[in-house]
Amino acid sequence: MDRIRIVGGNQLKGAIPISGAKNAALPLMIASLLTDDTLTLDNVPHLADVEQLIRILGNHGVDYSVNGRRESQGDGYSRTIHFTARNIVNSTAPYELVSKMRASFWVIGPLLARTGEARVSLPGGCAIGTRPVDLFIDGLKALGAEIEIDNGYVVARAPKGLAGGRYAFPKVSVGATHVLMMAASLAKGDTVLENAAREPEIVNLADCLNAMGARISGAGTHTITIEGVAALSGARHRVIPDRIETGTYAMAVAMTGGDVMLEGARPDLLENALDVISRAGAEIQPTNEGIRVTRNGAGIAPVEVTTEPFPGFPTDLQAQLMGLMTMAKGRSRITETIFENRFMHVQELARLGADISLSGQTAIVEGVSKLKGAPVMATDLRASVSLVIAGLAADGETTVNRVYHLDRGFERLEEKLSRCGAAIERISG
């Protein structure tokens, strides 16, 4: 099993190309189920989760082809993929596929809208909370679906097609907003989604669906209106740059010091997080090329943060911020409000010498002057990269085990960091 070896102490200097966002690419890929024409997606990252979803879509009859590297970029960080779901051959998403990645459950919306039926296993994925599917089920019922749970599968039927309706989310859900927006695009009549998620990935999907012929307005606000259409066509659409990857590398620079240009990053996608990183002591400078992050000389300042839905501080950057705060000059408080089990990295950071205590959903981090390298174990995608951030500044050698978690969401992380001077390498076997 692969692991990553880091020798800490090097500043980061250079440029890091920001990949397409995993959290945007996955729903865009799933949207290919809504049309029998070809959907072409540019800037698709090469990640384990993307490859897994390609296999899941293939189970439903989606063909795909890959166009290699962008002409303007020779490093192979981006791909153009063409998806064609001319015929849906199977409306069942089996447990052995869905259990490996939670987002694959989202196929339920397009399958139901396109074929009138879907049988999708209850999902798996990272063990960072229960994340129930009740919002998906209730929302689809509001569009006229008949749904039952049968032996671990959600069985949804709409033999006469879905009908427009109104659904108010009892709490903000990015995944359920994705699914209902896709399903409502082919429903008969108008649908209004209230208390909808506002994340940039929602807007990216709405823009793609509109390019396919959907009629969606209000994406990026709390109220989204969808006027159903009879059919969608093919389109070409670009995946937005990954705001979580952007924030992660910005925190790595803040942790180690140095000067790095995050190429292609968009500051409008993570303004709150950039403000927090700035308060921690880094200089953030948006440019035409992306975002320049520097920290030279000044120490790391403690911060207090509560995770919130967009445009608040993202839960997907909480672990990375905790890694950064382990060496802040003072006490930091980080409160997690989105997922109930997202502090599993605390124990591993403590192995490096971090001083962290938990009080309910709040982590109190007492900054230390020095971390010391040690073997650590990744517990989930974002937790794993927090260990990398800490290891970059720790004295001596840190080995991160179970890095398959990293490969789910970070494209060539060790290569990008090593190009900027980090002593980091992947060890196979």
Read off the pLDDT of residues 35-71 as tens digits, 9 standing for 90 and up.
999 999 999 999 999 999 999 999 999 999 998 544 3
CB 97 within 8 A of CB 56: yes
Let me know if 301 is exposed, middle or buried by CB neighbors in 10 A (0-12, 13-18, 19+). Answer: middle
Q: Nearest 5 degrees, angle CA 316-CA 321-CA 323? A: 115
19-28, 63-72, 129-138, 240-249: segment of lowest average pLDDT:
63-72
135 close to 147: Cβ distance less than 8 angstroms:
no
Q: How sure is the predictor about 128, in pLDDT bands with cuts at 50, 70 and 90?
A: very low
Angle between helix 381-393 and helix 318-325 axes, rounded to 10 deg: 20
Q: Give the separation between CA 35 and CA 208, rounded to whole angstroms.
A: 12
Q: How far apart are CA 291 and CA 142, in angstroms?
A: 42
Provide the pairing of β-strand 12-17 with 258-263: parallel
Q: What residues contact residue 143 under an 8 Å CB cut-off, 6+ apart?
A: 158, 162, 163, 164, 165, 167, 180, 183, 184, 187, 191
Yes or no: say if 221 and 260 are a contact pair by the CB < 8 Å rule: no
Q: Please compute the mean of the pLDDT values over residues 82-93 and round it to a whole number.
A: 97
Which residues does the annotation place in the binding site for UDP-N-acetyl-alpha-D-glucosamine?
A: 102, 131-135, 171-174, 316, 338
Alpha-carbon 90 to chain mean position = 27
Encoded tokens for 156: 């949804």
> Of the candidates 201, 204, 240, 198, which has an alpha carbon nearest to the alpha carbon of residue 220?
198
What is the token pair recorded at 273? 């997080």
pTM for the complete prediction? 0.95
Q: Residue 288: which residues within 8 A CB-CB, separation 6 or more?
A: none
pLDDT in tens, 166-186: 999 999 999 999 999 999 999
Between CA 263 and CA 271, with CA 267 as vertex, the angle to 5 degrees is 145
pLDDT band at 73 (very low <50, low <70, confident <90, very high): very low
Is residue 126 annotated as a catalytic residue, yes or no?
Answer: yes
Q: Who contacts 347 (Cβ-Cβ below 8 Å, separation ≥6)? A: none
For the record, the structure tokens of 201 come out as 């990935």
Domains contained in the chain, CATH given? 3-18+241-427 (3.65.10.10), 22-238 (3.65.10.10)
Give the pLDDT confidence score for residue 76 in this predicted structure: 57
d(C-alpha 273, C-alpha 277), whole Å: 6
Positive or negative, the CA dihedral 8, 10, 13, 14 is negative
pLDDT band at 382 (very low <50, low <70, confident <90, very high): confident
**Catalytic-labelled residue, pool 126, 232, 276, 277:** 126
- Would you list the DSSP string of 176-233? HHHHHHHHHHTSBSEEEEES----HHHHHHHHHHHHTT-EEE-BTBSEEEEE--S---
Residue 315's nearest CA partner among 102, 169, 128, 46 is: 128
Q: What is the pLDDT of residue 124?
A: 54
Q: From CA 407, how far away is CA 413, in angstroms rounded?
A: 8
Q: What percent of the chain has pLDDT over 90?
A: 86
Output the pLDDT for position 364. 98
**255 φψ region: left (φ > 0), alpha (ψ -120 to 50), beta (else):** alpha
Q: What is the pLDDT of residues 187-234, one digit of tens each?
A: 999 999 999 999 999 999 999 999 999 999 999 999 999 999 999 999
Residue ranges of the binding site: 22-23, 102, 131-135, 171-174, 316, 338
The Cβ of residue 197 has, within 10 Å, a number of other Cβ atoms equal to: 23
